[in-house]
A and B are shown apart, each in its own frame.
Chain A
Amino acid sequence: MEELPEVLTDYSEDGVDLTLIRWFLSLTPAERLEFLQRQVNAILRIRELNGIE
């Protein structure tokens, strides 16, 4: 089995998760919009389940 690298995270000095940015940049604009929409819909559904308008 392949060994995991020693460092598994990559944050900038000001604490930004660079792995998240790199992953998001690897998507096309249409894929980014689709992901954003899915997140928004999920949050709206949870808010609705909790009776929050």
Chain B
Amino acid sequence: MVSSDIGAALRTLREGGVEFVLVGGVAAALNGAPFQTYDIDIVPARDEENLAKLLRVLHSIDAIYRIQPARRFKPEASHLRSTGHHNLITSYGQLDVLGTIGRGLSYEDLLPHTVEMDIGNGVRVRVLDLATIIAVKEELGAEKDLAVLPLLRRTLEEKQRGTR
């Protein structure tokens, strides 16, 4: 059976000292959008030290590429240096490691647009803010991005009205 433990995956990344920004559907949900998703999307800092930490964590949670899972391709440092997307399956479920998002936004570009959130048990994660999630999806304009914009925009409006 495919299992999922989003909290454990994020906690393991943080305990491994990995610097990353949480983006995508889980970030939208943590920002308050009632959004259903299965995979975790992160944009890590791509300096050598951080990539080494990330690689250690990925190997510890048995990360392999989702494409051709039977061949069990493991991510390597040379792969993670790229700006590309790495769609992985781990012992905690699907994890997408994204070099950049949108039109080339890196960890450093995203960092000023994050909020640190406590996701439970004292684990704190940097989460892309809702306004930037919306801006990235508007810029990309793909059908799948446009489809979720009404929910995200209304959530941002409600949030700005001060629900929480």
Contact = CB atoms under 8 A, between A and B. Distances in A.
Interface residues of A, number: 27
B2 interface: yes
Contact of A21 (B30, B117, B154): B154
Contact of B150 (A12, A26, A53): A12
B150 A37 contact: no
Contacts of B120: 30, 33-34
A32 B34 CA distance: 8
Contacts, number: 82
Interface of A is mostly: helix
- Most chain B beta carbons < 10 A, residue from A34, A37, A48: A37
Contacts of B163: 21-22, 25-26
B118 interface: yes
Given A12-B154, A16-B154, A21-B34, A40 B1 contact: no
Interface of B: 1-7, 26, 29-30, 32-38, 93, 117-120, 127, 150-151, 154-155, 158-159, 163-164
Interface of A: 12, 14-16, 18, 20-30, 32-34, 36-37, 39-41, 44, 48, 53
